[in-house]
Amino acid sequence: MLLILLLVLIGIGVFSLLMAPFLWGSHQDALEIAPSASVDLLARKEAALSALKELEFDYGTRKLSREDYEELRAVYRVEAAEILELMDRGGNPSRDLDTLIDAEVAAWRTRRATEKGAVHGAA
């Protein structure tokens, strides 16, 4: 009987130690925090620079033709320059992207309205 009581007490102690972080611990580190704009820009900059390095390597090992290399290099350099410019301005890339999307949608609607007007006017 004493042995069973001792085993139960040891079991409760082990269970308490294992469950302590869940029962009494702080869960602030478990919260998912959205990355800030500067962290996002830094990650995008690193990705663009990494892509440029990989492109240089692929071209050096003759996996890419000169035309493909120059085209892709121009694309990645423009992207990296845009990211660096955003970082210098301290801008929020999501706001800039929203502005570009809004402008594109407005331009598309204008073109569509003009095309519909031309089709109905020709008929």
Q: Tell me whether residue 104 is in a domain.
A: yes
Q: How confident is the model at residue 120 (pLDDT cuts 50, 70, 90)?
A: low
The answer to whether residue 118 scores a pLDDT higher than 70 is: no
- The percent of the chain in helix, strand and coil, each rounded to the nearest 5, is 85, 0, 15
Q: Tell me whether residue 66 is in a domain.
A: yes
Q: Tell me whether residue 69 is in a domain.
A: yes
Q: Which domain holds residue 104?
A: 36-115
pLDDT of residue 86: 83
Q: Tell me whether residue 90 is in a domain.
A: yes
Q: Tell me whether residue 3 is in a domain.
A: no
A 10 A CB-CB count for 66 gives 9
Task: Indicate the number of domains in the chain.
Answer: 1
**Rounded Cα distance, 101 and 108, in Å:** 10
Q: In 3D, which of 45, 38, 43, 41 has the Cα closest to residue 76? A: 45
pLDDT of residue 116: 66
pTM listed for this prediction: 0.44
Is residue 86 a contact partner of residue 93, using CB atoms and an 8 Å limit?
A: yes
Q: Tell me whether residue 41 is in a domain.
A: yes
Tell me: the pLDDT tens digits for 79-104? 888 888 888 887 555 556 677 777 78
Mean pLDDT (whole number) for 26-48: 65
Tell me: the pLDDT tens digits for 39-58? 677 888 888 888 899 999 99
Find all residues with CB under 8 Å of 66, minimum gap 6, and list them.
59
Q: Tell me whether residue 48 is in a domain.
A: yes
The answer to whether residue 29 scores a pLDDT higher than 60 is: no
Q: Tell me whether residue 57 is in a domain.
A: yes
